[in-house]
Amino acid sequence: MTDPVRREYARLAPVYDKKWAFYNEATIRATLSGLEVGGTERVLDAGCGTGNLILALRDKWPRLECVGLDLSAEMLSVAGAKLARGAGRPPLVQGRAERLPFADGAFDLVISCNALHFVPAPARALSEFRRVLRAGGRLLVTDWCDDYISCRLCSLLLRLFGREHGHLLGCREFAALLGGAGFAAEAVHAFKINWLWGLMTARASAGRR
């Protein structure tokens, strides 16, 4: 296992939910608050980690058809055990956001929560999100925000300690990347989950190719 992110999350997987409980709960609440669904869509959770967002989605909309993708096999193993206790385990796939192993137009909705800052080529990931969405499909991204100094400092520390870490994006830069990937941005804004930690959330729709 040579990928530093995979190595880091193989180590974190058994303790991830407990260690980052506040952060996960706050970002999932923010993500769900910006979500508009009918309740029967096919949804890709890109960077699903230990499956907490999928659990929240199924609790709120039991008829959603969810698929989870993550780089870490160990995180997916935790997600699989957790999700199997519900109404049947959804498909969980190991893979990268920059090379999604799904057909064109396979999903109605793509969600990425706290994962895009680990992707070395976010523009390529957004193009892949667009590819796997049907015309008129929706994208919702929640991620660290370069507009906040706390996130910039955290990113710097991660780089100093040698873990592979992607490019943090500010709201304006992210809106431009959305347009370049074929999305129509509906809203991109920054927000705080506590006095220190800042994120951004973005909603966009996919036009015809």
The pLDDT assigned to 196 comes to: 77
pLDDT at 151 over 80: no
Three-state SS annotation for 8-38? HHHHHCCCHHHHCHHHHHHHHHHHHHCCCCC
Q: How far apart are CA 178 and CA 13, in angstroms?
A: 31
The pLDDT assigned to 150 comes to: 78
Q: Which of 150, 95, 154, 142 is nearest to 114 (CA)?
A: 142
Query: 190 with 171: CB under 8 angstroms?
Result: yes
pLDDT at 1 over 60: no
Query: 158 with 118: CB under 8 angstroms?
Result: no
DSSP state for residue 64 in the 8-state scheme: -
Q: How far apart are CA 95 and CA 182, in angstroms?
A: 22
DSSP state for residue 129 in the 8-state scheme: H
Q: Which of 183, 179, 98, 193 is nearest to 144 (CA)?
A: 193
* Phi, psi for 197 (deg, rounded to 5): -95, 130
Question: For the chain, which domains are there?
Answer: 4-206 (3.40.50.150)
**Lowest mean pLDDT, pick from 10-19, 95-104, 173-182, 192-201:** 192-201
- pLDDT-derived band at 86 (thresholds 50, 70, 90) equals low
The pLDDT assigned to 110 comes to: 98
